[in-house]
């Protein structure tokens, strides 16, 4: 399989320079806040934005090389690009949109994406999920060497998003080409990509599998972006394999990590259990406080308690009789309490 290689790219942006080295063999997702430079990465690969320095190669073919003054035009690069809002031509039918590149007839792609019955419709009459399928069909009909997706699920409602995400996951798993997608949603990235890179202010903070980023976040930003609660406190001397950390309100919790001085702890919502009475297990960390909110998400609920958000089942909420304003107890293990550092600092 061909590899997309972005080598020492530098792209001047308004507030900072995007600096990136990245290899994409199968599916890689770039996540980060708005304005981090994610879409700029796609534009450089597609030939819509020229870097100041660096190289872009695909399977050994050079698309851009600042030192050698190589810069292929967008139509000379075999790129399939799916825009955030899909960018379908409103005056063309579904078939005409798919066949726009004139590389392949539309029939194979209309059938593959289950949109053959819509071939004579125009984009305005399609649902969000249908428009995405048309955009994907058009991108692949160009016979690309690389597939680029810009926020592929952001234009969908919550109900449609779940189904389309599953379809897109299966498609990306089948494709024999490097695929690069950008999103601000870590959950989407984790569901779609084998490797995820966290991009902030034009720099990669960390890359790895979704599980790696959760288990070993490089800094507090990565931990927060992947869904962790952040607790700030001061670590005391380690004792018996555990380090006590005094939080701002005086609560003391422990971590299995070695640390000293001011620290930030990451605790993931699914590692927290809730109760209405103090737990009897003295080996567990306990944070008490009033329930601030309960947000139901399908068969799960996110319960905010003091500085923490826990994720538990709806059945557990009902069984406990949890309600806003109640005092409850959040319990979590020391081994699930990770020490992270602020970006650019170290312990």
pLDDT tens track for 199-233? 999 999 999 999 999 988 989 999 999 999 999 99
Question: Is pLDDT larger for residue 336 or for residue 57?
Answer: 57
The tens digit of pLDDT for each residue in 289-330 reads 999 999 988 789 999 998 899 999 999 999 999 999 999 999
In this structure, the answer to whether residues 176 and 80 fall within a common structural domain is yes
In this structure, the answer to whether residues 188 and 86 fall within a common structural domain is yes
In this structure, the answer to whether residues 28 and 173 fall within a common structural domain is yes
Q: Do residues 94 and 118 make contact, with C-beta atoms less than 8 angstroms apart?
A: yes
Q: What per-residue confidence (pLDDT) applies to 38?
A: 93
What is the average per-residue pLDDT within 243-268? 91
Look at residue 343 and tell me whether its pLDDT is greater than 70: no
In this structure, the answer to whether residues 272 and 178 fall within a common structural domain is no
Look at residue 165 and tell me whether its pLDDT is greater than 90: no
- Residue 180 exposure: Cα atoms within 13 Å on the Cβ side: 27
Q: What per-residue confidence (pLDDT) applies to 241?
A: 80
Q: What per-residue confidence (pLDDT) applies to 239?
A: 80
Give the H/E segment covering residue 82. Answer: strand 79-82
Look at residue 162 and tell me whether its pLDDT is greater than 70: yes
Q: 244: domain CATH number?
A: 2.40.50.100
Look at residue 43 and tell me whether its pLDDT is greater than 70: yes
In this structure, the answer to whether residues 244 and 153 fall within a common structural domain is no
In this structure, the answer to whether residues 99 and 243 fall within a common structural domain is no
In this structure, the answer to whether residues 171 and 242 fall within a common structural domain is no
Positions of E strands within 226-340: 229-235, 243-247, 252-255, 261-267, 273-275, 285-297, 300-305, 308-313, 327-332, 338-340
* Measured distance CA(16)–CA(38) in Å, rounded: 13
The tens digit of pLDDT for each residue in 54-97 reads 999 999 899 999 999 999 999 899 999 988 777 888 999 999 88
In this structure, the answer to whether residues 105 and 24 fall within a common structural domain is yes
- Distances, alpha carbon 4 to alpha carbons 54, 99, 148, 169, in Å: 13, 26, 11, 20
The tens digit of pLDDT for each residue in 91-121 reads 999 998 898 866 667 788 888 888 899 999 9
* Measured distance CA(61)–CA(40) in Å, rounded: 21
Q: What per-residue confidence (pLDDT) applies to 346?
A: 42
Look at residue 168 and tell me whether its pLDDT is greater than 60: yes
Look at residue 29 and tell me whether its pLDDT is greater than 60: yes
Range of the domain at 268: 222-276+283-340
Of 221, 239, 264, which marks where a domain is finished?
A: 221
> Phi, psi at residue 246, to the nearest 5°?
-90, 120
Look at residue 344 and tell me whether its pLDDT is greater than 60: no
Q: 69: domain CATH number?
A: 3.40.50.300
In this structure, the answer to whether residues 27 and 156 fall within a common structural domain is yes
Report DSSP state, residue 239: B
Q: What per-residue confidence (pLDDT) applies to 342?
A: 52
Band the pLDDT of 167: cuts 50, 70, 90: confident
Tell me, yes or no, whether 269 lies in a domain: yes
Q: Which residues have a Cβ under 8 Å from the Cβ of 341 and sit 6 or more positions away?
A: 219, 220, 263, 264, 347
The tens digit of pLDDT for each residue in 257-286 reads 888 889 999 999 999 999 999 888 777 899
Tell me, yes or no, whether 345 lies in a domain: no
Of 191, 206, 221, which marks where a domain is finished?
A: 221
Q: Which residues have a Cβ under 8 Å from the Cβ of 144 and sit 6 or more positions away?
A: 78, 79, 80, 177
Number of folded domains that form the chain: 2
Of 204, 221, 238, which marks where a domain is finished?
A: 221
What is the average per-residue pLDDT within 19-23? 95
């Amino acid at each position: 399989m061909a590899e997309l290689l972005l080598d020492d790219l530098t792209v001047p942006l308004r507030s900072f320079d995007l600096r990136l080295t990245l290899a994409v063999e199968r599916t890689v997702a770039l996540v980060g806040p708005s304005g981090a430079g994610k879409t700029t990465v796609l534009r450089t690969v597609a030939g819509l934005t020229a870097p100041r320095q660096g190289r872009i190669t695909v399977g050994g073919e050079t698309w851009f090389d600042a030192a050698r003054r190589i810069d292929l035009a967008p139509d000379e690069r075999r790129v399939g690009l799916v825009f955030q809002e899909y960018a379908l031509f409103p005056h063309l039918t579904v078939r005409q949109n798919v066949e726009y590149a004139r590389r392949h007839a539309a029939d194979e792609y209309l059938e593959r994406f289950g949109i053959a019955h819509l071939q004579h419709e125009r984009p305005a009459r399609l649902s969000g999920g249908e428009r995405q399928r048309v955009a994907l069909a058009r991108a692949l009909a160009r016979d690309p060497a690389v597939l680029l997706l810009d926020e592929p699920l952001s234009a969908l409602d919550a109900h449609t998003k779940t189904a389309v995400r599953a379809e897109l996951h299966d498609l990306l798993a089948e494709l024999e080409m490097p695929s690069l997608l950008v999103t601000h949603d870590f959950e989407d990235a984790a569901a779609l990509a084998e490797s995820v890179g966290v991009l902030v202010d034009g720099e990669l903070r960390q890359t790895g599998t979704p599980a790696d980023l959760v288990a070993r976040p490089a800094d507090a930003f990565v931990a927060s972006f992947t869904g962790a609660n952040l607790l700030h406190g001061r670590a005391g001397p380690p004792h018996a394999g555990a380090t006590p950390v005094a939080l701002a309100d005086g609560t003391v919790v422990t971590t299995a990590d070695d640390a000293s001085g001011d620290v930030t702890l990451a605790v993931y919502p699914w590692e927290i259990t809730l109760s209405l009475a103090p737990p009897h297990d003295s080996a567990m960390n306990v944070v008490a406080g009033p329930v601030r909110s309960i947000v139901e998400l399908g068969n799960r609920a996110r319960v905010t308690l003091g500085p923490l958000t826990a994720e538990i089942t709806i059945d557990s909420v009902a069984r406990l009789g949890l309600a806003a304003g109640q005092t409850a107890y959040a319990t979590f293990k020391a081994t699930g309490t990770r020490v992270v550092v602020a970006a650019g600092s170290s312990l």
